[in-house]
Amino acid sequence: STAYKNNPAVANFVEYLRIPSVQPNIDYDECVKFLKRQANEIGLDFKVYEVVPQKPIVVLTWKGKEPTLPAILLNSHMDVVPVFENSWTYPPFSGHIDEDGKIFARGSQDMKCVGIQYLEAIRKIKQAGLQLKRTLHISFVPDEEIGGHDGMEKFVLTNEFKALNIGFALDEGMANPTDEFIIFNGERSIWQMHIHCTGQ
């Protein structure tokens, strides 16, 4: 695990996992600062959209060779669900790496891994001197875990989003215990029933 701790891509992941962007009432400032630093390091444009106050939508952009073509959106959410800390072997915002190389943290699967993987992959692609045809927008959105109502749901309806001219998007999937990778190309419709018990 020492080798992993010294790996810069793992270190970046652990640093992001240590930001407790846990529902409810999240202060996203630390995430925004972290992502701004990543953008500067990698050489990506950085923009924050605030459709709803205190609910930043962070977009890092790498302009393609043919910027008029529809762009690619690589989306991830910054928030994570709550924890019952007493039930954890290691503190849930420690990013502890055990001797088997397991990285423990709330958000390690859902889905801070994916956000950092996009960035680390782009870092390497840029270092290899490649330039891509289409523009990439790497978005980090708030509040997915509570329905995305102040995040992606409103953002997709804005002129700012339309101006990004997205043609195709990637977002989270799910872990799989077998050697296959799960791909999702649709979602179930969610119908929630709210039962109000008013008493007598």
Partner 1 sequence: KLDKSNPYWVAFKGVCDELELKLDCRIFPGGTDSRYVRRVGIPAIGFSPMNNTPVLLHDHDEFLRADIYLRGIEIYEKLIPAVANV
CA separation for the pair 123, 135 (Å, rounded)? 15
Contact between 92 and partner 1 by CB under 8 A: the answer reads yes
Q: Which alpha helices (H) appear in 49-92, and where do they start and end?
A: none
Q: How far is the CB of 49 from partner 1 (least distance, A)?
A: 14
Between the alpha carbon of residue 39 and those of residues 3, 51, 67, 88, 162, the distances in Å are 25, 21, 19, 33, 22
Stretch that binds partner 1, among 31-39, 46-54, 67-75 (CB under 8 A): 67-75
Of the candidate residues 26, 31, 51, 113, the single one contacting partner 1 (CB under 8 A): 113
Q: Which of 75, 78, 140, 150 lies at the binding interface for partner 1 (CB under 8 A)?
A: 75
Stretch that binds partner 1, among 25-33, 38-46, 47-55, 98-106 (CB under 8 A): 98-106
User: How many Å apart are CA 150 and CA 26, to the nearest integer?
Assistant: 12
Among 120, 144, 145, 150, which one carries the catalytic annotation? 144
Q: Which is nearer to partner 1, 32 or 139 (CB)?
A: 139
The stretch near partner 1 (CB under 8 A) out of 26-34, 41-49, 124-132 is: 124-132
Considering only 38, 103, 140, 150, the residue that binds partner 1 (CB under 8 A) is 103
Residues 154 to 193: which contact partner 1 by CB under 8 A? 155-157, 161, 166-188, 190
What b/e readout covers 119-158, taking b as 16+ CB neighbours within 10 angstroms?
bbebbeeeeeeeeeebbbbbbbbbbbbeebebbbebbeee
Q: Using CA atoms, how far apart are residues 151 and 59, in angstroms rounded to an integer?
A: 13
Q: At closest approach, how far in Å is the CB of 187 from partner 1?
A: 4
* Active-site annotation holds for 79: yes
Does 11 help bind partner 1 (rule: CB under 8 A)? no
Contact of 167 with 134, CB cutoff 8 Å: yes
**Beta-bridge partners for 71:** 166
Q: How far apart are the first and last CA of the chain?
A: 59
Catalytic residue check, 144 = yes
